[in-house]
Structure 1
Amino acid sequence: MEDLLREVYSEERVVPPLFKYKAISPAQYARIYRESLTPEFWAGEAAQLLWERRWTKALEGEPPAVRWFPDGLLSPYRNVVGRHEGTWIWEKPALIWRGEEGVTRVFTYSDLDAMAKSYSGVLKALGVGRGDWVVFYAPPTPEVVALMLAAVRLGAPIEPVFTGFGYGDLAARVDDTRPRLLVTVDAFPRRGRPIKVKEAVDKALGLAKWKPKVLVVERMGVDVGLVEGRDHRLGDVRPEPAEEAVVESAHPLFGLHVGYDGGLGLVVHGAGGYLTQTYATTRWIGLRPRDTYFCTVLPGWITGVTYVLFGPFMVGSAVVIYEGGPDYPGWDVWWSIMEDYAVTVFLTTAGALRVLSRQDPEMLREHNLDTLKLILTTAEPMEVKYWKWAYHLVGTGTVPSIDSLPEKLSGRIPVIHMFIQTELGTFATGSLPNYTFVPIAPGSAGPPMPGFHIDVVDGEGNPVRGRPGQLVVKSPWPAMPVQYPRWYAERWRGGVYYAGDYAVMADDMNIFPLGRSDTVMKVNGYRITPEALERAAEAAPGVKRAVAFGVRDLQKFETPVVVVAGDVQPDELRRRIREYVGAIAEPAKIVALEAMPDAPKPELRAALKAYLWRGAAADGPLRGWVEEVARRLR
């Protein structure tokens, strides 16, 4: 951990030239922050939503079973899209979608509204009503985005599932969520070849006990087999009249399955509290109606749900979605998108900056990015050197601004790293361009945002500064889950939520995340439960037992390793895990041993992580086994 701390921690504080006259002092921030730590603060933000029946109390209950604005009624769809009807925003671009082939499709807010209304009738015709889950295993094409909003309009909670997850992972989610409908596409292009998503859906539903209907959206015109009575093509369903739902504040809006030590758990956010927090933080981080915003994190992850599907549309920004990866047709495709559409706000991950910084700098210099005013990053810890690369190389631009000199690559716009977690629902830390903008600490996720009572504590729960501790939240936040697994509830101790991450908090409250404190893996920002890899490995012939854990990786931050007892072929085991769990979970190494200690898996994982990350030797009979695994990894 000491090596990682040296890479991410910085005493330097930077005020970008364009924000020279906007930065506030630490004392001003401290006063604003201190005064924000009350329910009344969030009540003021909730007043920005459109309520059909205004709530009379801000919150009730004790953590984790807290409900915000419990007696309020609202239409989630009206608050996301419908709020703009009759304003100048209604006929401006809402969605700019670019396919991997280079085709661009643009939809205004009125276009998106018309699609969502029509598609809500399609969903109703397929039996979807208020409270019925709809799972999406599809890339965010315009039709898929409109279908998600259509479900929101009906009061049907959604779960977008990352298409990089395998059929086994999808089956587990289907059995847990029990959706009325699963939405997919025939196929989507990846580096020029079709990825046949419908085939993965068929395998997943062959494995799952729960059997939902399937709606197939045509993307590539690939011939796919339809199961009679189960599968329906979007164009073949006749819409029925469908009313816009008005729901209670705690009504489920969406959910995501989250990786915990013990497996996947469904975390569900309620409409009123979540939309309050989303609308507030989206404005604070810098989005406005005239912005063109490009986010590379897609729905399927909390950043993509909150800051693609909900927040930017609530604000009225133009949202750019690119279907492909960062390297196709070339490593400059993201720079090309930003130049072509005059992007003003760019949100990506620390992992993406790592890989982009290693490409030919000429590809970056060939594009004019002067319209950029903000670079936002998230997902995993950010090393100082990559923050500086983005600040100087990407963010300086070509035109002198105040005291920014392009020829010296002196920097011009903020690069703001922020902390997010599915359970929190939104970003919860960061220097805020449209609110509390404080000098940026390179490598940090910034200070806590107003309204979030965040601290770093030691093993006894005492605040610590300047050294690693546990990241905690000391009071409820509006987007608290309304449904959750026991693993989330167990993280609440004495009214304090332990986020499961190590971090360092500086004296000026800047927070430097250091990765997970449990054995959940953070791979390229994705939370991967070790249980999923172990289940896939133990289904393979010859494997008696398996233990999965993460090791430090310079590109992905963390990468999986699987230790198995038995006689296996490593390449075959990798293939099985890749297909069952997903490509993101493919192990970097398989360590095959004849035997494994007869100890609980959580104990084995924790011993391996403690030794490999912190150099802490295991006790008793585990010591020799841990050292042998470590030797095999060298």
Structure 2
Amino acid sequence: MGYIIPPYLKYKTVSVAEFQRIYRESISDVFSFWMREAEHLIWRVKPNRAFDGRVWFPDGVLSPYENILGRHRGTWVWDKVALLWEDEGGDVRAYTYSDLDKLVERMSGVLRALGVSRGDWVVFYAPPTPETLALMLASARIGAPFEPVFTGWGWYALARRIANRGPKLVVTVDAFPRKGKPVKTKDAVDRAVPESVKVLVVERMGVQTARRKNDVFLSEVEPEPAEEAAVESGHPLFGLHAGYRDGPKPVTHAAGGYLVQTFSTTRWIGVRPRDTYFCTVVPGWITGVTYLVFGPFMVGSTVVVYEGGPDYPQWDRWWSIVEKYAVTVLVTTAGAMRYLSKQDPSLLARHNMDTLRLIVTTAEPFDEESWKWTYYYVGTGRTPAVDSVPDRLSGRIPLIHAFIQTEMGTFFTGQLPNYVFTPLKVSSAGPPMPGFHLDVVDDEGRPVRGRPGRLVVKAPWPALPLEPRVFDGLYDTGDLAVMDDDMYIFPLGRRDGVLKVNGYRISPGEIAEAIKVALGVEAVVDKVRDPMKFEAPVAAVRGQVRLEDVKRVVREYVGPIADLADVKAL
């Protein structure tokens, strides 16, 4: 397959042979490699050991918050805009790093006043508003691990995640707007959260909500003093739930190793302090945590956060944000680009997006048609760069399709403009990033090239989850992929029955369980290919039940992201 060299990086591209030399050197001793990367963090106690078999940098102590926002105190970054937030209606709020730090300090005091201490879990079921983002950073500041739950999950899916974490506090909003109408997240929380658990309600829209004994509204809380916590490297920072065949399971990332890997990969993909950075993925997914809540703030970028969807009031909303705020780096999903490529081309053409210098996509395989549309139509721009020709849609800036997983914590494949940038290949997720020992193997564990196999990781990585089930000398990602002779990886999708719907990893077992709990019937859940969503769930049920009730229950209990494409009776 042919190489594509973006004009913007024509003079920074290295040969595949040079990359392979650097990569092989990095995986020949992953522990020394990552110890060198760990030097970029600020440690209260500098680690002397890389890995003890379970935890990275086990003798190190650090303040997570100092490494996220605090590192910029006293620098020019401190007085520049950290967060640009826009809602569906066009209301905008801007916070400098200094402003955001004050808000986080206040929210730390709110958490402390509500009884949250170091080691207590906080679960979020809320959109990305300045207050909820500050509360997440505040959790990290006081040493309280948190889990953001995607608001597209239904109440039953939320209840399972809350039960698994046993949080001291659940954070939600009264409601948030979606296409001009309120989505009442508080209603789902009332069904999912035990009466004994305290709920903090951020008054986002001011709508009337039921009030339970342990509900507290943000405006009513008087903050208490809250010290910034220094924690051991292995202290849990945050967690998510990842979809498996039989149901979602917790994945917990430790502070030290995860932040080392996040800071490194964010810099490697080319994010810089002077960037205006727009990530369209919300924090309920790993991309939204790593590359919205943590990574760009660690680097010192200006982070654009949009609360709504890409299609309101029209399908050019994201393009208008790129133009309005002079966005330089766009991070999004392959599925989103597929949807946008099918819209009226004039919606894209009306916007000048010449400020863009990098597009990063992730979450699912990238079909050739959508990849080319993104590279040539979105990425060419109106102004030539080096030898780009806008009138011919020649392409101008790099389109990096990077592979990520909840268990891996960060991107672990893809070209790196700030490290080793190799030529692009259509639809490829690029080669492995340095420090990640990847391979594609057959069922006997033998490396295979040019044909499908199991994508595996052969050595531990710093963001290794605390759950021991994840890595026992080899990590099988559960994904099918092709690795070519240049070591470029072409993801093909899950091979273990887990669904990929619009980039979301969904457990068929969770859908089947919801049907059984709600309707008392057994169900078999499978997947079918979908031209827009990549995959969609289907169900076959055994028992006397109306098929339309099955669809209704899945939407209500699991969420609209798990909408069934078809239901049949067994």
For residues 2 and 370 of structure 2, the distance between their equivalents in structure 1, rounded to whole angstroms, comes to: 15
Amino acid at match of 1:18: Y
State the SS of the aligned residue for 2:466: strand
Q: Give the Å deviation of 1:586.
A: 1.1
1:163 aligned to 2:167?
Answer: no
**Aligned equivalent of 1:153:** 141
Amino acid at match of 2:307: E
Q: Structure 1, residues 136-190: CA drift from partner, whole Å, max 9, x if none?
A: 0000100000011111100000000000000000100111100000000000000
3-state secondary structure, aligned to 1:462: coil
What SS class does the counterpart of residue 220 from structure 1 fall into? Answer: coil
* Shift in Å, 1:401: 1.6
Q: Deviations over 1:184-221 (max 9, x none)?
A: 0000000000001101100112xx5x832000001111
Say whether 1:95 aligns with 2:102: no
Correspondences of 1:470-549 after superposition (within 5 Å): 470-483=454-467, 486=469, 488=470, 492=472, 495-541=473-519, 544-549=521-526
Instruction: Say which of 447, 466, 474 aligns to 2:431.
Output: 447
Residue correspondence of structure 1 range 42-53 to structure 2 within 5 A: 42-53=34-45
Which runs of no fewer than 5 residues in structure 2 stay unpaired? Answer: none
Q: Is 2:125–2:150's contact at 8 Å kept on the other side of the alignment?
A: yes
Partner residue of 2:534 out of 534, 551, 557? 557
> 1:45: how far off?
0.6
Question: Matches of 1:365 and 1:181 in 2, distance apart?
Answer: 46
Aligned partners of 1:526, 1:18: CA distance in 2, in Å?
A: 31
Counterpart position of 1:310: 294
Q: What residue in structure 2 maps to residue 597 of structure 1?
A: none
8 A Cα contact 2:360 2:399, kept in partner? yes
Q: Give 1:385-396 correspondences, 5 Å limit.
A: 385-396=369-380
> TM-score scaled by structure 2?
0.99
8 Å Cα contact 2:515-2:521 kept in structure 1? no
Query: 8 Å contact 2:525–2:539 — kept in the other structure?
Result: yes
Question: Does the C-alpha gap of structure 1 residues 198 and 544 become closer, same or farther in structure 2, counting only changes over 3 Å?
Answer: closer
Amino acid at match of 1:570: L
Displacement of 1:544 in angstroms is 3.1
1:459 and 2:459 correspond: no
Distance 2:547 2:68 in 1: 48
| 2:259 is the alignment partner of 1:271 | no
- Name whichever of 544-553 and 415-424 sits farther off: 544-553
Q: Does 1:220 align with 2:205?
A: yes
Q: 1:268-297: CA deviations, max 9, x gaps?
A: 000000000000000001100000010110
In structure 1, distance between residues paired with 2:279 and 2:227:
31
Secondary structure at 2:261 match in 1: helix
Give the aligned partner of residue 628 of structure 1. Answer: none
Are residue 331 (structure 1) and residue 321 (structure 2) matched? no
Which residue does 2:32 correspond to in 1? 40
Q: CA deviation at 1:483?
A: 2.9
Greater C-alpha radius of gyration: 1
- How many percent of aligned residue pairs carry the same amino acid? 62
Partner residue, 2:7: 17
2:18 matched to 1:28?
A: yes
List, as ranges, runs of 4+ consecutive aligned residues in structure 1 with deviation greater than 6 Å.
Answer: none
Match of 2:49 among 57, 76, 89: 57
Structure 1 counterpart SS, 2:266: helix
Equivalent residue number for residue 341 of structure 2: 357
Secondary structure class of the residue paired with 1:279: helix
Aligned to 1:401, the other structure's residue is in SS state coil
Are 2:185 and 1:200 equivalent residues in the alignment?
Answer: no
Question: Which residue of the other structure, out of 169, 177, 183, is the alignment partner of 2:165?
Answer: 177
Task: Structure 1: give runs of 5+ residues left out of the alignment.
Answer: 1-10, 594-634
Structure 2 match to 1:117: 105
State the alpha-carbon separation in 2 of the partners of residues 424 and 135 from structure 1: 21
Q: AA paired with 2:538?
A: V
Q: Does 1:469 align with 2:491?
A: no
Quote the offset at 1:261 in angstroms: 1.2
Cα distance in 2 for partners of 1:388, 1:567 equals 48
- 562, 565, 570: which one aligns with 1:588: 565
What's the offset of the Cα at 1:536?
1.4
| Distance apart, 1:12 and its partner CA | 2.0
Distance 1:544 1:160 in 2: 31
